Chains A and B, each alone.
Chain A
Amino acid sequence: MKKVKIIAGISWAFLCLIMIIILFPGLNSFSVSVSKLPFMKLNPKYSGGEIAKQMITASCTLDIRKPVFNGFFKERNSGFVQLDWHGTIPETIKDSIDYDNDGNKDFCVLIDRKDSKTVLSPFNKKVKGVIISTPTSYGWAVRVGLDKN
């Protein structure tokens, strides 16, 4: 029994040695495999949610994402919708948004990029206010706070 334990211990130690030796040369391919695991995707709270629709104008595109109400056990009552403007963005952005696709505009957002000022005009009582409005590497992004009910 003592011998078996010694052999098992030494074998495990050598296996660990091999793991460390192949870890760095294989890091890229191991990481790619790990990135494909089903849970390896960013929570919508961080990714901003899936793109629900796009509004394309001559110079820029506005991505309207799906509203995010994610919670650990169940959806929360408060969440946000993220808007991303790409391309050549005018100095002043003014867009009216129907985030829930009911055919009615829910809010209008007015952004003065020079002064970094954002004004939100809600037309729906579920729209709460601006959470984030910021320039990004691709253009501009805004998160608008929402209530679910």
Chain B
Amino acid sequence: MDNVLEKTGMKKSFGKSLLYTLPMFLITFMFMTGGKPNFSDPASALAVLTVFLLVNVLYFFMHYTGKTDRYRAVLFIIFALSLSYTLIHNMLEVRKSMSFSQADILECKIPFCHLVIPMMILPAVFTKSIIFPGSIIGGFANISSMVVLWLIATIVLGRGFCSWGCFYGGWDDGFSRIRKKPVIKKISELWRWMPFAVLIMVALTSALALMPTYCSWICPFKAVTEFEQVTSVESATKAGIFLSLFGGLVIALPVMTRKRTQCSFLCPMGAVNTLANKITPFTVKIDKNSCNECFKCVEVCPLYALTPADIKAGKVSLFCSKCGKCVDACPKKAINYGIRGIPAGTMKNFSRNLFLFVSFLFMAIFSAGSIISTFHGLLKLIF
């Protein structure tokens, strides 16, 4: 196997891997420390150092081993867990509860998340206003900065956002890795169109009700972030829906299928990001000349982005999140990261290096704040 990797050039020597890690090392150092490490609080200095090392060691191993997904997934899953920890911790500290109150809604203090964006487009166009009780600018998770972050990340990564940027995706990604073999093997690939149906439904109902209906009624991640206080039958029903969808689509089905079922079958933002795959320069390409149609990649793809028909046609579908699982699994190294315009099977190393740098840098910096504050919180708990 090592020989195959050496031959295709994905695996690098120790020194070369260090050299490739150097730019990541310098940029993440600047972002995490502001250029001046602060040792006055040992717990926060240790938290920053741990996250800084974690990020750079993972990136180093991507180059050294030639494997992508396993190292990406470590940071992606830690990001999801730490964001929920940070949010819940803040809620408990400030509000003594995981639920937000009517006053928080009236005062527009609800943290904004990117999943609201598809629902606010129609009202923004037709009513020239935002239908969310959050802060436009300033404060934690304000609307303007989340829009900027998501917009740039989606233009650059397309659906890659769903494996390198989204702070929810790590949940079902994590649960999909628990079993070695799936219990449920066959789910019709037609289901992968479901997020588009959800997108159309929530975009229309949100416009008509002037309320983000997905957040109010459907979002499974309310179970691990924050939700409305249960004070009525309506709010109890909503809490029931959030918990059932989280239990079913984020825990049970990913464990049984080894697929990211929430992201594949429900998330409306996943549908928008899928469309954005049309503009991003980064793709995953199949080299028909090397492929022996063993369909190992189809088996491992967590987002139903590959079907035997796609492989036969030599094209990865638009649903691809560039997680790298198929690239790592292909015994013939026939499936690789690519750049639009460059023919499949050529400039594989250059395309992978550039994509990894861009996508990992985004994830490292975007996730650093919440991972550092989680580590800091845990260190304070321990010592």
A45 lies within 8 A of B131 (CB): yes
B341 lies within 8 A of A46 (CB): no
Interface string of B21-57 (1 = CB under 8 A from A): 0000001000100000000000000000000000000
The count of residues in chain B whose C-beta lies closer than 8 Å to any C-beta of chain A is 53
| B-contacting residues, A32-49, CB 8 Å | 32, 34-35, 38-48
| A-contacting residues, B279-332, CB 8 Å | 280-282
A35 lies within 8 A of B136 (CB): yes
Cα-based distance from A70 to B27 in the complex (angstroms): 47
A8 lies within 8 A of B341 (CB): yes
The verdict on A123 contacting chain B, using a C-beta distance below 8 Å, is: no
Q: Which residues of B contact A71 (CB under 8 A)?
A: 210
A18 to chain B, nearest CB (A): 10
Q: Mostly helix, strand, loop or mixed at chain A's interface? A: helix
The verdict on B124 contacting chain A, using a C-beta distance below 8 Å, is: yes
Cα-based distance from A40 to B280 in the complex (angstroms): 26
Cα-based distance from A48 to B124 in the complex (angstroms): 17
B341 lies within 8 A of A42 (CB): no
A141 lies within 8 A of B106 (CB): yes
Cα-based distance from A140 to B214 in the complex (angstroms): 29
Q: Which residues of A contact B131 (CB under 8 A)?
A: 43, 45-46
A43 lies within 8 A of B129 (CB): yes
A20 lies within 8 A of B358 (CB): yes
Residues of B within 8 A of A (CB): 27, 31, 101-103, 105-108, 122-133, 136-137, 142-145, 147-149, 152-153, 155-156, 207-208, 210-211, 280-282, 339-343, 354-355, 357-358, 361-362, 365
Given contact pairs A23-B149, A28-B145, A31-B145, a sample of 10 additional A-B residue pairs in the complex whose CB atoms are under 8 Å apart: A6-B342, A7-B341, A10-B339, A19-B156, A27-B148, A34-B144, A35-B144, A40-B136, A42-B130, A72-B208
Residues of A within 8 A of B (CB): 2, 5-10, 12-14, 16-17, 19-21, 23-24, 27-28, 30-32, 34-35, 38-48, 70-73, 82, 132, 134-138, 141, 143
